[in-house]
Amino acid sequence: MFKKKTVKDINLRGKTVLLRVDYNVPIKNGIIQDDFRIRQSLETIKYLISQECKIIICSHLGRPEGMDPSLSLRPVVLRLSKLLNKGVAFAPNLSSENINSEVKNLKSGQILLLENLRFNPGEDKDDDKFAKQLSELADIFVQDAFGVVHRYNASTVAVTKYLPSVAGLLLEREVDTITNVAQNPKKPLMVVVGGAKIADKIDILERFISMADYIMLGGAMANTFLKASGTEIGASKYDENELPLARRILQLAKTESKKRNFTLQLPFDVVVSKKMDSNTTLRIVDWSSYSLSEIESYPKRPPKRGSTVLSDEKIFDIGPFTGAYIAGVMQSMNTVIWNGTMGVTEVPSLITSTGPYSHGSELVLQAISGEFGHKPFSLVGGGDTAGFVQSKEMSANINHLSTGGGASLELLGGHKLPGVEALLDK
Ligand code: ADP
Ligand code: 3PG
Ligand code: MG
Protein backbone atom coordinates (compact mmCIF):
# COMPACT_ATOMS: atom_id res chain seq x y z
CA MET A 1 0.00 0.00 0.00
CA PHE A 2 1.31 3.42 -1.05
CA LYS A 3 1.85 5.50 2.09
CA LYS A 4 2.05 8.98 0.55
CA LYS A 5 -0.73 11.39 -0.35
CA THR A 6 -1.62 11.47 -4.02
CA VAL A 7 -3.44 13.99 -6.21
CA LYS A 8 -6.65 12.18 -5.23
CA ASP A 9 -6.12 12.87 -1.50
CA ILE A 10 -6.13 16.67 -1.62
CA ASN A 11 -8.33 19.41 -3.01
CA LEU A 12 -6.75 20.59 -6.25
CA ARG A 13 -9.71 22.38 -7.79
CA GLY A 14 -8.61 25.54 -9.59
CA LYS A 15 -5.08 25.41 -8.09
CA THR A 16 -1.83 26.13 -9.90
CA VAL A 17 0.17 22.91 -9.89
CA LEU A 18 3.88 22.37 -10.49
CA LEU A 19 4.02 18.86 -11.97
CA ARG A 20 7.40 17.09 -12.17
CA VAL A 21 7.49 14.39 -14.87
CA ASP A 22 10.27 12.33 -16.44
CA TYR A 23 10.41 13.37 -20.10
CA ASN A 24 13.97 12.09 -20.41
CA VAL A 25 13.14 10.49 -23.76
CA PRO A 26 15.48 9.61 -26.64
CA ILE A 27 15.53 12.50 -29.16
CA LYS A 28 17.57 12.38 -32.37
CA ASN A 29 17.86 15.50 -34.57
CA GLY A 30 14.84 16.99 -32.83
CA ILE A 31 12.72 13.86 -33.40
CA ILE A 32 11.39 11.86 -30.44
CA GLN A 33 12.38 8.21 -30.90
CA ASP A 34 10.13 6.82 -28.18
CA ASP A 35 7.31 8.55 -26.29
CA PHE A 36 6.54 5.87 -23.66
CA ARG A 37 7.40 8.18 -20.76
CA ILE A 38 5.27 10.97 -22.22
CA ARG A 39 2.27 8.67 -22.65
CA GLN A 40 2.68 7.33 -19.12
CA SER A 41 2.41 10.89 -17.77
CA LEU A 42 -1.00 11.54 -19.38
CA GLU A 43 -3.18 9.99 -16.68
CA THR A 44 -2.09 12.52 -14.04
CA ILE A 45 -2.21 15.44 -16.47
CA LYS A 46 -5.77 14.51 -17.51
CA TYR A 47 -6.77 14.28 -13.87
CA LEU A 48 -5.33 17.76 -13.22
CA ILE A 49 -7.22 19.10 -16.25
CA SER A 50 -10.43 17.58 -14.85
CA GLN A 51 -9.78 19.51 -11.63
CA GLU A 52 -9.45 22.73 -13.65
CA CYS A 53 -5.86 23.24 -12.50
CA LYS A 54 -3.33 25.52 -14.14
CA ILE A 55 -0.56 23.06 -14.95
CA ILE A 56 3.15 23.86 -15.05
CA ILE A 57 5.08 20.81 -16.19
CA CYS A 58 8.83 20.44 -15.56
CA SER A 59 11.37 17.73 -16.40
CA HIS A 60 15.02 17.00 -17.05
CA LEU A 61 16.40 15.67 -20.33
CA GLY A 62 19.78 13.93 -20.56
CA ARG A 63 22.77 15.07 -18.54
CA PRO A 64 23.66 18.52 -19.94
CA GLU A 65 26.51 20.58 -18.54
CA GLY A 66 24.86 23.99 -18.69
CA MET A 67 22.77 25.07 -21.66
CA ASP A 68 22.80 22.57 -24.56
CA PRO A 69 20.33 23.14 -27.45
CA SER A 70 20.41 19.43 -28.41
CA LEU A 71 18.85 18.65 -25.00
CA SER A 72 16.01 21.17 -25.21
CA LEU A 73 12.56 19.90 -24.22
CA ARG A 74 10.97 21.87 -27.06
CA PRO A 75 10.36 18.77 -29.26
CA VAL A 76 8.16 17.38 -26.47
CA VAL A 77 5.65 20.26 -26.78
CA LEU A 78 4.22 19.06 -30.07
CA ARG A 79 4.05 15.40 -29.02
CA LEU A 80 2.39 16.18 -25.70
CA SER A 81 -0.04 18.50 -27.40
CA LYS A 82 -0.90 15.79 -29.96
CA LEU A 83 -1.39 13.12 -27.28
CA LEU A 84 -3.64 15.39 -25.19
CA ASN A 85 -5.34 16.94 -28.17
CA LYS A 86 -4.87 20.40 -26.71
CA GLY A 87 -2.39 23.27 -26.86
CA VAL A 88 0.77 23.26 -24.73
CA ALA A 89 2.79 26.44 -24.16
CA PHE A 90 6.57 26.38 -23.72
CA ALA A 91 8.79 28.50 -21.45
CA PRO A 92 12.23 28.41 -23.11
CA ASN A 93 13.91 30.43 -20.39
CA LEU A 94 14.11 29.22 -16.79
CA SER A 95 14.68 32.66 -15.26
CA SER A 96 11.93 33.62 -12.83
CA GLU A 97 10.80 36.84 -14.56
CA ASN A 98 10.32 34.96 -17.78
CA ILE A 99 8.35 32.06 -16.32
CA ASN A 100 6.29 34.30 -14.04
CA SER A 101 4.83 36.23 -16.93
CA GLU A 102 4.02 32.96 -18.78
CA VAL A 103 2.31 31.58 -15.67
CA LYS A 104 0.23 34.74 -15.27
CA ASN A 105 -1.23 34.11 -18.74
CA LEU A 106 -2.27 30.52 -17.87
CA LYS A 107 -5.99 29.78 -17.52
CA SER A 108 -7.68 26.82 -15.84
CA GLY A 109 -6.92 23.55 -17.62
CA GLN A 110 -4.03 25.07 -19.59
CA ILE A 111 -0.51 23.67 -19.70
CA LEU A 112 2.93 25.29 -19.69
CA LEU A 113 6.01 23.13 -20.19
CA LEU A 114 9.28 24.50 -18.76
CA GLU A 115 12.67 24.08 -20.47
CA ASN A 116 15.07 21.32 -19.27
CA LEU A 117 15.55 21.80 -15.51
CA ARG A 118 19.16 20.65 -15.75
CA PHE A 119 20.04 23.77 -17.76
CA ASN A 120 20.05 25.36 -14.30
CA PRO A 121 23.05 24.12 -12.27
CA GLY A 122 20.87 24.23 -9.13
CA GLU A 123 18.77 21.25 -10.25
CA ASP A 124 21.47 18.59 -9.84
CA LYS A 125 22.69 20.16 -6.61
CA ASP A 126 19.30 19.91 -4.86
CA ASP A 127 19.69 23.68 -4.51
CA ASP A 128 17.24 25.47 -2.20
CA LYS A 129 17.36 28.73 -4.13
CA PHE A 130 16.38 27.13 -7.44
CA ALA A 131 13.74 24.99 -5.70
CA LYS A 132 12.25 28.07 -4.04
CA GLN A 133 12.15 29.90 -7.37
CA LEU A 134 10.23 26.97 -8.89
CA SER A 135 7.91 26.68 -5.91
CA GLU A 136 6.88 30.34 -6.19
CA LEU A 137 5.16 29.54 -9.49
CA ALA A 138 2.53 27.25 -7.94
CA ASP A 139 0.27 26.35 -5.00
CA ILE A 140 1.00 22.63 -4.96
CA PHE A 141 3.78 20.31 -6.13
CA VAL A 142 2.95 16.98 -7.75
CA GLN A 143 5.74 14.43 -8.16
CA ASP A 144 5.15 11.99 -11.01
CA ALA A 145 8.71 11.51 -12.29
CA PHE A 146 9.29 7.97 -11.06
CA GLY A 147 12.49 7.64 -13.15
CA VAL A 148 14.32 10.30 -11.16
CA VAL A 149 13.01 10.04 -7.57
CA HIS A 150 16.14 8.11 -6.54
CA ARG A 151 18.09 11.36 -6.97
CA TYR A 152 18.49 14.33 -4.65
CA ASN A 153 17.56 17.12 -7.08
CA ALA A 154 15.94 20.54 -6.60
CA SER A 155 12.79 19.19 -8.27
CA THR A 156 12.69 15.95 -6.26
CA VAL A 157 13.66 16.91 -2.71
CA ALA A 158 14.36 20.64 -2.11
CA VAL A 159 11.11 21.79 -3.75
CA THR A 160 9.04 19.81 -1.22
CA LYS A 161 10.29 22.16 1.55
CA TYR A 162 8.38 25.04 -0.02
CA LEU A 163 5.12 23.53 -1.29
CA PRO A 164 2.59 20.93 -0.11
CA SER A 165 3.81 17.96 -2.14
CA VAL A 166 1.91 14.88 -3.26
CA ALA A 167 2.38 11.97 -5.66
CA GLY A 168 1.00 11.65 -9.16
CA LEU A 169 -0.85 8.55 -10.31
CA LEU A 170 2.08 7.07 -12.26
CA LEU A 171 4.41 7.38 -9.28
CA GLU A 172 1.86 5.65 -7.06
CA ARG A 173 1.38 2.76 -9.50
CA GLU A 174 5.12 2.29 -10.08
CA VAL A 175 6.00 2.26 -6.39
CA ASP A 176 3.11 -0.05 -5.46
CA THR A 177 3.73 -2.60 -8.20
CA ILE A 178 7.50 -2.74 -7.84
CA THR A 179 7.38 -2.92 -4.03
CA ASN A 180 5.03 -5.89 -4.32
CA VAL A 181 7.42 -7.75 -6.61
CA ALA A 182 10.36 -6.90 -4.34
CA GLN A 183 8.59 -8.25 -1.28
CA ASN A 184 7.04 -11.40 -2.74
CA PRO A 185 8.72 -12.48 -5.95
CA LYS A 186 7.42 -15.84 -7.13
CA LYS A 187 10.57 -17.98 -7.19
CA PRO A 188 12.71 -18.93 -8.98
CA LEU A 189 13.71 -15.34 -9.71
CA MET A 190 16.02 -14.29 -12.52
CA VAL A 191 17.52 -10.80 -12.76
CA VAL A 192 18.94 -9.60 -16.07
CA VAL A 193 20.95 -6.37 -15.83
CA GLY A 194 22.59 -4.60 -18.76
CA GLY A 195 22.84 -1.04 -20.04
CA ALA A 196 25.44 1.62 -19.50
CA LYS A 197 24.65 3.36 -16.19
CA ILE A 198 27.13 1.17 -14.38
CA ALA A 199 27.84 3.28 -11.29
CA ASP A 200 24.09 3.76 -10.74
CA LYS A 201 23.17 0.11 -10.98
CA ILE A 202 26.11 -1.95 -9.75
CA ASP A 203 25.48 -1.53 -5.98
CA ILE A 204 22.10 -3.18 -6.24
CA LEU A 205 23.64 -6.38 -7.62
CA GLU A 206 25.02 -7.12 -4.19
CA ARG A 207 21.48 -7.15 -2.85
CA PHE A 208 20.22 -9.28 -5.74
CA ILE A 209 22.73 -11.99 -4.86
CA SER A 210 20.73 -12.75 -1.74
CA MET A 211 17.33 -12.34 -3.47
CA ALA A 212 17.67 -13.96 -6.87
CA ASP A 213 18.32 -17.50 -8.07
CA TYR A 214 19.98 -16.39 -11.26
CA ILE A 215 21.70 -13.16 -12.28
CA MET A 216 22.68 -12.56 -15.90
CA LEU A 217 24.73 -9.53 -16.92
CA GLY A 218 24.89 -7.89 -20.35
CA GLY A 219 25.63 -4.47 -21.89
CA ALA A 220 28.45 -2.26 -20.68
CA MET A 221 27.69 -3.54 -17.17
CA ALA A 222 28.93 -7.00 -18.24
CA ASN A 223 32.02 -5.43 -19.84
CA THR A 224 33.01 -4.07 -16.44
CA PHE A 225 32.70 -7.54 -14.90
CA LEU A 226 34.51 -9.23 -17.79
CA LYS A 227 37.37 -6.76 -17.34
CA ALA A 228 37.32 -7.31 -13.57
CA SER A 229 37.65 -11.05 -14.10
CA GLY A 230 40.68 -10.60 -16.35
CA THR A 231 39.04 -11.03 -19.77
CA GLU A 232 40.37 -8.87 -22.61
CA ILE A 233 37.61 -6.42 -23.67
CA GLY A 234 39.60 -4.25 -26.12
CA ALA A 235 38.24 -0.69 -26.39
CA SER A 236 34.79 -1.59 -25.00
CA LYS A 237 32.90 0.74 -22.68
CA TYR A 238 33.31 -0.11 -18.98
CA ASP A 239 33.69 1.71 -15.68
CA GLU A 240 37.25 1.71 -14.34
CA ASN A 241 36.13 3.07 -10.93
CA GLU A 242 33.77 0.16 -10.39
CA LEU A 243 36.31 -2.64 -11.00
CA PRO A 244 37.02 -3.23 -7.28
CA LEU A 245 33.29 -3.48 -6.53
CA ALA A 246 32.79 -5.76 -9.54
CA ARG A 247 35.53 -8.07 -8.20
CA ARG A 248 33.89 -8.10 -4.78
CA ILE A 249 30.51 -8.94 -6.28
CA LEU A 250 32.02 -11.81 -8.30
CA GLN A 251 33.57 -13.18 -5.11
CA LEU A 252 30.31 -12.80 -3.21
CA ALA A 253 28.45 -14.61 -5.99
CA LYS A 254 30.96 -17.45 -5.90
CA THR A 255 30.48 -17.86 -2.15
CA GLU A 256 26.68 -17.76 -2.56
CA SER A 257 26.69 -20.45 -5.26
CA LYS A 258 28.56 -22.76 -2.90
CA LYS A 259 25.77 -22.36 -0.35
CA ARG A 260 22.75 -22.84 -2.63
CA ASN A 261 21.51 -23.15 -6.17
CA PHE A 262 22.58 -19.70 -7.37
CA THR A 263 24.39 -18.48 -10.49
CA LEU A 264 25.81 -15.15 -11.60
CA GLN A 265 26.59 -15.51 -15.29
CA LEU A 266 28.62 -13.22 -17.54
CA PRO A 267 28.27 -13.42 -21.34
CA PHE A 268 30.38 -16.20 -22.82
CA ASP A 269 30.17 -14.83 -26.35
CA VAL A 270 29.82 -11.23 -27.58
CA VAL A 271 29.35 -9.22 -30.78
CA VAL A 272 32.23 -6.85 -31.49
CA SER A 273 33.12 -4.28 -34.14
CA LYS A 274 35.64 -1.50 -34.59
CA LYS A 275 33.03 1.20 -35.17
CA MET A 276 29.50 1.58 -33.86
CA ASP A 277 27.81 1.70 -37.22
CA SER A 278 24.87 0.30 -39.19
CA ASN A 279 27.05 -1.20 -41.92
CA THR A 280 30.25 -2.09 -40.16
CA THR A 281 31.78 -5.57 -40.09
CA LEU A 282 30.70 -7.58 -37.05
CA ARG A 283 32.54 -10.40 -35.41
CA ILE A 284 31.47 -12.87 -32.75
CA VAL A 285 34.02 -13.51 -30.05
CA ASP A 286 33.28 -16.75 -28.26
CA TRP A 287 35.25 -17.57 -25.11
CA SER A 288 33.52 -20.89 -24.56
CA SER A 289 34.58 -22.84 -27.62
CA TYR A 290 37.90 -24.15 -28.84
CA SER A 291 38.72 -25.44 -32.28
CA LEU A 292 40.09 -28.98 -32.53
CA SER A 293 43.45 -27.71 -33.77
CA GLU A 294 43.78 -25.49 -30.72
CA ILE A 295 43.12 -28.40 -28.40
CA GLU A 296 45.49 -30.76 -30.23
CA SER A 297 48.36 -28.30 -30.28
CA TYR A 298 47.91 -27.15 -26.67
CA PRO A 299 50.00 -25.63 -25.14
CA LYS A 300 52.14 -24.86 -28.17
CA ARG A 301 49.99 -22.31 -30.03
CA PRO A 302 48.36 -19.16 -28.68
CA PRO A 303 44.54 -19.10 -28.71
CA LYS A 304 42.98 -18.29 -32.07
CA ARG A 305 42.05 -14.72 -32.96
CA GLY A 306 38.38 -15.72 -32.83
CA SER A 307 38.38 -16.02 -29.07
CA THR A 308 39.90 -12.66 -28.16
CA VAL A 309 38.52 -9.13 -28.38
CA LEU A 310 41.25 -7.14 -30.16
CA SER A 311 42.58 -3.90 -28.70
CA ASP A 312 40.74 -1.72 -31.25
CA GLU A 313 37.44 -3.62 -31.05
CA LYS A 314 34.43 -2.87 -28.88
CA ILE A 315 31.79 -5.19 -27.46
CA PHE A 316 28.37 -3.89 -28.50
CA ASP A 317 26.06 -6.85 -27.75
CA ILE A 318 25.94 -10.24 -26.08
CA GLY A 319 26.51 -13.11 -28.51
CA PRO A 320 23.91 -15.54 -29.92
CA PHE A 321 24.85 -18.41 -27.59
CA THR A 322 24.59 -16.24 -24.50
CA GLY A 323 21.22 -14.97 -25.76
CA ALA A 324 19.94 -18.49 -26.38
CA TYR A 325 21.26 -19.58 -23.00
CA ILE A 326 19.37 -16.77 -21.20
CA ALA A 327 16.21 -17.73 -23.08
CA GLY A 328 16.76 -21.33 -21.96
CA VAL A 329 17.25 -20.45 -18.30
CA MET A 330 14.08 -18.35 -18.41
CA GLN A 331 12.03 -21.45 -19.21
CA SER A 332 12.39 -22.51 -15.58
CA MET A 333 11.92 -19.08 -13.96
CA ASN A 334 8.68 -17.77 -12.48
CA THR A 335 9.75 -14.13 -12.19
CA VAL A 336 12.13 -12.19 -14.42
CA ILE A 337 13.38 -8.67 -13.70
CA TRP A 338 15.07 -7.05 -16.70
CA ASN A 339 16.81 -3.68 -16.51
CA GLY A 340 19.22 -2.28 -19.11
CA THR A 341 19.60 -3.41 -22.72
CA MET A 342 21.97 -6.27 -23.60
CA GLY A 343 23.65 -4.11 -26.23
CA VAL A 344 23.49 -0.83 -28.14
CA THR A 345 19.91 -0.96 -29.41
CA GLU A 346 19.85 2.56 -30.87
CA VAL A 347 21.78 1.66 -34.05
CA PRO A 348 19.31 0.70 -36.79
CA SER A 349 19.90 -2.01 -39.37
CA LEU A 350 20.04 -1.06 -43.04
CA ILE A 351 18.24 -4.25 -44.07
CA THR A 352 16.19 -5.83 -41.27
CA SER A 353 14.01 -4.57 -38.41
CA THR A 354 16.63 -5.62 -35.85
CA GLY A 355 19.73 -3.44 -35.47
CA PRO A 356 23.22 -5.01 -35.61
CA TYR A 357 23.62 -4.87 -31.82
CA SER A 358 19.98 -5.52 -30.84
CA HIS A 359 19.80 -9.30 -31.27
CA GLY A 360 20.70 -10.05 -27.65
CA SER A 361 18.01 -7.70 -26.30
CA GLU A 362 15.51 -9.09 -28.80
CA LEU A 363 16.13 -12.67 -27.65
CA VAL A 364 15.69 -11.65 -24.01
CA LEU A 365 12.46 -9.84 -24.90
CA GLN A 366 11.11 -12.83 -26.85
CA ALA A 367 11.91 -15.18 -23.97
CA ILE A 368 10.30 -12.88 -21.40
CA SER A 369 7.25 -12.66 -23.66
CA GLY A 370 6.86 -16.44 -23.58
CA GLU A 371 7.72 -16.97 -27.25
CA PHE A 372 9.73 -20.09 -26.42
CA GLY A 373 6.97 -21.72 -24.39
CA HIS A 374 7.03 -20.63 -20.76
CA LYS A 375 6.04 -17.06 -19.80
CA PRO A 376 7.41 -15.84 -16.46
CA PHE A 377 5.96 -12.87 -14.54
CA SER A 378 7.98 -9.95 -15.85
CA LEU A 379 9.08 -6.58 -14.58
CA VAL A 380 11.02 -4.59 -17.15
CA GLY A 381 12.51 -1.16 -16.42
CA GLY A 382 14.63 1.68 -17.74
CA GLY A 383 14.09 4.45 -20.27
CA ASP A 384 16.13 2.76 -22.99
CA THR A 385 14.93 -0.74 -22.15
CA ALA A 386 11.27 0.31 -22.15
CA GLY A 387 11.93 2.21 -25.40
CA PHE A 388 13.28 -0.97 -26.98
CA VAL A 389 10.24 -2.99 -25.85
CA GLN A 390 7.97 -0.31 -27.32
CA SER A 391 9.85 -0.22 -30.61
CA LYS A 392 9.18 -3.97 -30.94
CA GLU A 393 5.51 -3.38 -30.03
CA MET A 394 5.77 -5.97 -27.29
CA SER A 395 4.81 -3.97 -24.20
CA ALA A 396 1.53 -5.88 -23.92
CA ASN A 397 3.55 -9.03 -23.14
CA ILE A 398 5.23 -7.48 -20.09
CA ASN A 399 3.47 -7.60 -16.72
CA HIS A 400 4.90 -4.26 -15.58
CA LEU A 401 6.87 -2.00 -17.90
CA SER A 402 8.45 0.63 -15.67
CA THR A 403 9.44 4.16 -16.68
CA GLY A 404 12.28 3.99 -14.16
CA GLY A 405 15.70 2.38 -14.60
CA GLY A 406 17.93 3.23 -11.63
CA ALA A 407 14.84 4.12 -9.57
CA SER A 408 13.17 0.75 -10.09
CA LEU A 409 16.37 -1.09 -9.18
CA GLU A 410 16.77 0.97 -5.99
CA LEU A 411 13.21 0.13 -5.02
CA LEU A 412 13.68 -3.55 -5.82
CA GLY A 413 16.80 -3.50 -3.67
CA GLY A 414 14.72 -2.30 -0.72
CA HIS A 415 16.14 1.23 -0.70
CA LYS A 416 14.09 4.32 0.12
CA LEU A 417 13.58 6.83 -2.70
CA PRO A 418 14.31 10.38 -1.47
CA GLY A 419 11.84 11.98 -3.90
CA VAL A 420 9.06 9.75 -2.54
CA GLU A 421 10.03 10.03 1.13
CA ALA A 422 9.81 13.84 0.88
CA LEU A 423 6.07 13.77 -0.06
CA LEU A 424 3.23 14.24 2.44
CA ASP A 425 2.19 11.11 4.35
CA LYS A 426 -1.36 9.83 3.88
P1 ADP B 1 17.94 2.13 -19.13
O2 ADP B 1 17.77 3.44 -19.88
O3 ADP B 1 17.08 1.06 -19.67
O4 ADP B 1 17.86 2.33 -17.65
P5 ADP B 1 20.80 2.39 -19.34
O6 ADP B 1 20.59 3.84 -19.57
O7 ADP B 1 21.56 1.94 -18.15
O8 ADP B 1 19.41 1.61 -19.41
O9 ADP B 1 21.52 1.73 -20.57
C10 ADP B 1 21.04 1.82 -21.89
C11 ADP B 1 22.17 2.30 -22.75
O12 ADP B 1 23.23 1.35 -22.68
C13 ADP B 1 21.80 2.40 -24.21
O14 ADP B 1 22.01 3.74 -24.61
C15 ADP B 1 22.80 1.48 -24.91
O16 ADP B 1 23.31 2.03 -26.09
C17 ADP B 1 23.90 1.34 -23.90
N18 ADP B 1 24.68 0.09 -24.04
C19 ADP B 1 24.23 -1.18 -23.91
N20 ADP B 1 25.20 -2.07 -24.14
C21 ADP B 1 26.32 -1.36 -24.41
C22 ADP B 1 27.67 -1.70 -24.75
N23 ADP B 1 28.06 -2.97 -24.83
N24 ADP B 1 28.54 -0.68 -24.98
C25 ADP B 1 28.14 0.60 -24.89
N26 ADP B 1 26.89 0.99 -24.59
C27 ADP B 1 25.99 0.03 -24.35
C1 3PG C 1 16.59 7.79 -16.41
O2 3PG C 1 16.57 7.87 -17.65
O3 3PG C 1 17.00 6.77 -15.82
C4 3PG C 1 16.00 8.91 -15.60
O5 3PG C 1 15.39 9.87 -16.40
C6 3PG C 1 17.06 9.51 -14.70
O7 3PG C 1 18.08 10.10 -15.46
P8 3PG C 1 19.52 10.33 -14.80
O9 3PG C 1 20.11 8.95 -14.58
O10 3PG C 1 20.29 11.14 -15.80
O11 3PG C 1 19.31 11.03 -13.50
MG1 MG D 1 19.00 5.09 -20.14
| Closest CA to ligand 2's atom 7 | 148
CA 384 to ligand 2: nearest atom: 2
One-letter amino acid at 70 equals S
- pLDDT under 70 in the chain at which residues? 289-306
Q: Which candidate in 197, 201, 227, 392 is catalytic? A: 197
For residue 382, which atom of ligand 2 is closest to its CA? 3
**What fold is seen in the domain 185-412?**
Rossmann fold (3.40.50)
Cα–Cα distance measured from residue 345 to residue 357, given in angstroms and rounded to the nearest whole number:
6
Which residues sit with Cβ closer than 5 angstroms to ligand 3, an ion? 383-384
Condensed to tens digits (0 to 9), the pLDDT of residues 336-363 reads 999 999 999 999 998 888 999 999 999 9
Which pLDDT value is given to residue 107?
Answer: 96
Strand-pairing partners, residue 380, are 338, 401
**Active-site annotation holds for 207:** no
Task: Select which of 194, 323, 382, 406 is catalytic.
Answer: 406
In whole angstroms, give the CA distance from residue 58 to residue 163. 15
- What is the pLDDT, as a whole number, of residue 299? 56
Whose CA is closest to 238, among 309, 186, 333, 136?
309
pLDDT tens track for 139-162:
999 999 999 999 999 999 999 999
Atom index in ligand 2 nearest the CA of residue 145 equals: 5
Active-site entry in 219, 319, 381, 383: 383
Every domain of the chain and the residues it spans: 16-172, 185-412
Domain 16-172 adopts which CATH fold?
Answer: Rossmann fold (3.40.50)
Query: How far apart, in Å, do the first and last CA atoms of the chain sit?
Result: 11
What's the confidence (pLDDT) of residue 98? 81
Q: Note if 37 is an active site residue.
A: yes
Report CA(160)–ligand 1 centroid distance (Å).
32
Q: Do domains 16-172 and 185-412 have the same CATH topology?
A: yes
Per the annotation, the verdict on 197 as an active-site residue is: yes
* Residue 381 bears catalytic tag: no
Q: How many Cβ atoms are within 10 Å of 49's Cβ, its own excluded?
A: 17
